[in-house]
């Protein structure tokens, strides 16, 4: 039946059909494809993998790569028979790589190329190619772009799945059969094309490649203390990557393990090398191994790096953090470890923290106390800059970068501050008063230490007054006003005395003290009549307590016992007067 007639209008453009996955070839692409296909046609076998495995498989079987190469040799001999190639590239049977090879050789006979296919793979990259025949697109792209060291391995992926190993580099392309034995030239080329500048050393007959921040002999002997990752290849060579070099990674860089893996097929790095890493914090004893938890953290980081789930630029930081979190004892200041047994070592480590020399010395003393006499509320702390310390389930005390000596003192003041004051020759009740004052009304430790002489004097004055058995009742309230007025000043206590009170007894106690010290004038309106009447009765006893307190502060140490006895008698009289 004849086709239905189609109406065409003047000026109508002729429609062109475009196959999916193809594009119009520009001049540059067309010339490049013509050049590559001409080279493939001139010497087809030169761009195929060199089979280095010459043995038989189990039960005398021939390996699949050798079979494919033999079939491709047959096609290469027919490279100029276009009709034969046309049949072979459309054959339903036969090796799929050979089919794609026949189609590529057939395309090489074309004089010009206007349309090209576009192949794109996340693993193997992208390239243009000429579609011809029934072969797989990826296989044709790999065979035609034989200068692409990664893409040319793609046609052999099924053979790799069957246990064959391939290695590709600028100077060669080989198959080592079921044995992953990379050639020496392959490793040298892959390292030269990586983002690192390696230095090659021959150490006792072993090829060692290291970045500039490492010593080749130490890397080989596993005695290098500088943080690094070591790649120990099964066939002998060793590659060392310093932490400093790893941290230079940028978004534009290709991860080193990815670059290395895409130079072989299958991309299984554990089949050709072992990876290990080493890093010790400054000050860690050379004879001591890291705890198991630290080494396990390093291994987890390496697994994530090899699995391309970790940013290569963060690898060094993550491994350092794993080590620091895995250490279980001592003190860690940023990335430096100290045992905490010597105050001098702690002071030296704390130079990384801001603060005066006095603050640094007291912080070293308090850390020393925390190590020697651990307290459940002062263990496994992480001390951040200007923040409350975070308590962990386990691990050494960590003083993070940016934390100050004041942050360290604040973290341990409640648990070890009083003991640390002994380093300043403050002991006993005097030290306890200074410690509690700073605990209840904290000041910046720089200011606290500058005013320590005054604090020491205040503590000595406060220590002259015996402690009360109870702080309840009007007598205790008058005692508080009396001691506070003598130590802190009358003005401050007067403001407290004239404030609102919860009961008549509290108000009466305040009025009694005001009368005793002569500061009741004009304050009557703050108090009810009952409170003033009751306080007036107590005021004489309160006055005798005030006089005893003044004498207690004025007497020499030799008369202190007698003055304290007089204070006890005056307070006993006050208790009787208030009905206690």
**Domain residue limits, the chain:** 22-177, 184-326, 331-462, 466-578
Residue given tokens 């198959």 in the structure block: 175
Name the one residue in this structure whose structure tokens are 């001098």: 344
CA-to-CA separations, 213 to 136, 192, 242, 243, in angstroms, rounded: 47, 17, 6, 8
297-319 average pLDDT score: 92
| Residue located via tokens 């702390």 | 381
In angstroms, rounded to a whole number, what is the distance separating the alpha carbons of residues 456 and 460? 6
Q: What is the pLDDT of residues 555-574, one digit of tens each?
A: 888 888 888 899 899 988 88
Whether the Cβ atoms of residue 148 and residue 128 lie closer than 8 Å to each other: no
**1: pLDDT confidence band, cut at 50, 70 and 90?**
very low
Task: Give the Cα separation of 140 and 102 in Å (integer).
Answer: 9
Residues 176-221 have pLDDT tens digits of 999 999 999 999 999 999 999 999 999 999 999 999 999 999 999 9
Q: What is the mean pLDDT of residues 135-155?
A: 92
Q: What is the dihedral of CA 258, 35, 101, 176, to 10 degrees?
A: -40
Q: At what angle do helices 474-488 and 529-554 cross, to 10 degrees?
A: 50
- Please give the average per-residue pLDDT across 237-256, as a whole number: 92
Q: Which two tokens stand for residue 409?
A: 């003192």
Cβ-based burial of 538 (10 A; exposed 0-12, middle 13-18, buried ≥19):
buried
Q: Average pLDDT of 519-538?
A: 88
> What are the pLDDT digits (tens) for 402-449?
999 999 999 999 999 999 988 887 878 878 888 998 999 999 998 888
Q: Cα-Cα-Cα-Cα dihedral of 87, 88, 90, 91, to 10°? A: 110
Report pLDDT digits (tens) over 273-289.
999 999 999 999 989 99
Checking if the pLDDT of 304 tops 50, the result is: yes
**pLDDT at position 141 over 70:** yes
Tokens of 101: 């090879």
* Angle at CA of residue 26, ends 20 and 30, nearest 5°: 90
Contact (CB, 8 A) for 498 and 475? no
> What tens digit of pLDDT does each residue of 359-391 get?
999 999 999 999 999 988 888 899 998 777 888
What residues form DSSP beta bridges with 265?
166
The arithmetic mean of pLDDT across residues 462-467, rounded, is 83
Give Cβ neighbours of residue 420 (< 8 Å, ≥ 6 apart).
362, 365, 366, 369, 412
CA distance 166 to 93: 25
Q: Report whether pLDDT(487) > 80.
A: yes
3-state secondary structure of 159: helix
More confident residue, 9 or 130: 130
Other Cβ atoms less than 10 A from the Cβ of 506: the count is 17
Query: What is the percent of the chain with per-residue pLDDT over 70, rounded to a whole number?
Result: 96
What's the mean pLDDT in 79-98? 92
Q: Is the pLDDT confidence value at 323 over 90?
A: yes
β-bridge mates for residue 167, sequence order: 174, 264
CA torsion 502-505-507-510 (nearest 10°) is -130
* Segment 20-31 mean pLDDT: 74
> What's the predicted TM-score (pTM) here?
0.72
In this prediction, residue 433 carries a pLDDT of 86
Q: Which whole number is the average pLDDT over 99-114?
A: 89
**What is the model's pLDDT at position 59?**
83
333: β partners: 336, 399
- Residue for token digits 């490049």? 32
Q: Is 403 exposed, middle or buried (0-12, 13-18, 19+ CB in 10 A)?
A: buried
* Residue 22 pLDDT: 64
Residue 98, pLDDT > 90, answer yes
Mean pLDDT confidence for 479-498: 88
């Amino acid at each position: 039946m004849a086709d239905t007639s189609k109406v065409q209008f003047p000026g109508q453009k002729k429609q062109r059909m475009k196959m999916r996955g193809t594009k119009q070839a520009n001049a540059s692409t067309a010339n490049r494809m013509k050049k590559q296909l001409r080279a493939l046609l001139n010497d087809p076998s030169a761009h195929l993998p060199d089979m280095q495995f010459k043995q038989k498989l189990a039960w005398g079987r021939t390996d699949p790569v050798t079979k494919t190469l033999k079939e491709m040799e047959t096609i290469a001999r027919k490279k100029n028979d276009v009709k034969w190639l046309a049949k072979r590239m459309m054959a339903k049977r036969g090796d799929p790589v050979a089919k794609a090879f026949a189609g590529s050789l057939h395309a090489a006979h074309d004089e010009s190329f206007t349309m090209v296919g576009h192949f794109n793979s996340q693993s193997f990259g992208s390239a243009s190619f000429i579609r011809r025949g029934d072969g797989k697109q990826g296989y044709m792209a790999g065979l035609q772009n034989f200068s692409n060291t990664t893409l040319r391995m793609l046609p052999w992926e099924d053979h790799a799945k069957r246990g064959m190993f391939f290695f590709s580099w600028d100077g060669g392309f080989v198959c080592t059969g079921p044995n992953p034995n990379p050639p020496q030239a392959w490793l040298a080329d892959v390292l030269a094309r990586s983002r690192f500048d390696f230095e090659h050393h021959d150490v006792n007959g072993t090829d060692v490649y290291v970045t500039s921040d490492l010593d080749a002999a130490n890397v080989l002997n596993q005695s290098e203390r500088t943080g690094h990752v070591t790649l120990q290849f099964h066939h002998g060579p060793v590659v060392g990557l310093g932490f400093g070099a790893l941290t230079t990674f940028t978004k534009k860089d290709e991860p080193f393990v990815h670059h290395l893996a895409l130079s072989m097929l299958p991309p299984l790095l554990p089949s050709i090398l072992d990876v290990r890493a080493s890093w010790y914090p400054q000050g860690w004893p050379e004879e001591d191994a890291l705890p198991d938890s630290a080494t396990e953290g390093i291994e987890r980081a390496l697994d994530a790096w090899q699995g391309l789930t970790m940013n290569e630029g963060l690898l060094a930081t993550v491994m350092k953090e794993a080590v620091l979190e895995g250490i279980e004892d001592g003190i860690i200041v940023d990335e430096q470890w100290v045992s905490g047994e010597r105050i001098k070592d702690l002071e030296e480590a704390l130079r990384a923290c801001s603060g005066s020399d006095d603050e640094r010395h007291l912080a070293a003393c308090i850390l020393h106390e925390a190590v020697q006499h651990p307290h459940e509320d002062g263990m496994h702390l992480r001390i951040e800059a200007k923040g409350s310390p975070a308590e962990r389930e386990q691990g050494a005390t960590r003083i993070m970068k940016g934390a100050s000596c004041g942050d360290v003192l604040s973290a341990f003041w409640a648990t070890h501050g009083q003991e640390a004051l002994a380093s300043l020759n403050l002991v006993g009740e005097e030290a306890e008063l200074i410690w509690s004052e700073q605990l209840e009304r904290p000041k910046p430790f720089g200011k606290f230490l500058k005013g320590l002489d005054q604090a020491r004097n205040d503590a000595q004055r406060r220590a002259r007054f015996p402690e009360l058995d109870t702080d309840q009742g009007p007598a205790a309230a008058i005692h508080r006003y009396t001691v506070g007025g003598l130590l802190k000043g009358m003005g401050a206590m007067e403001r407290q005395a004239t404030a609102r009170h919860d009961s008549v007894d509290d108000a009466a106690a305040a009025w009694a003290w005001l009368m005793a010290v002569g500061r009741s004038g004009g304050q009557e309106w703050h108090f009810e009549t009952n409170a003033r009447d009751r306080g007036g009765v107590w005021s004489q006893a309160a006055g005798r307590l005030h006089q005893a307190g003044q004498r207690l502060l004025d007497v020499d140490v030799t008369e202190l016992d007698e003055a304290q006895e007089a204070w006890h008698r005056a307070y006993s009289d006050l208790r009787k007067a208030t009905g206690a």
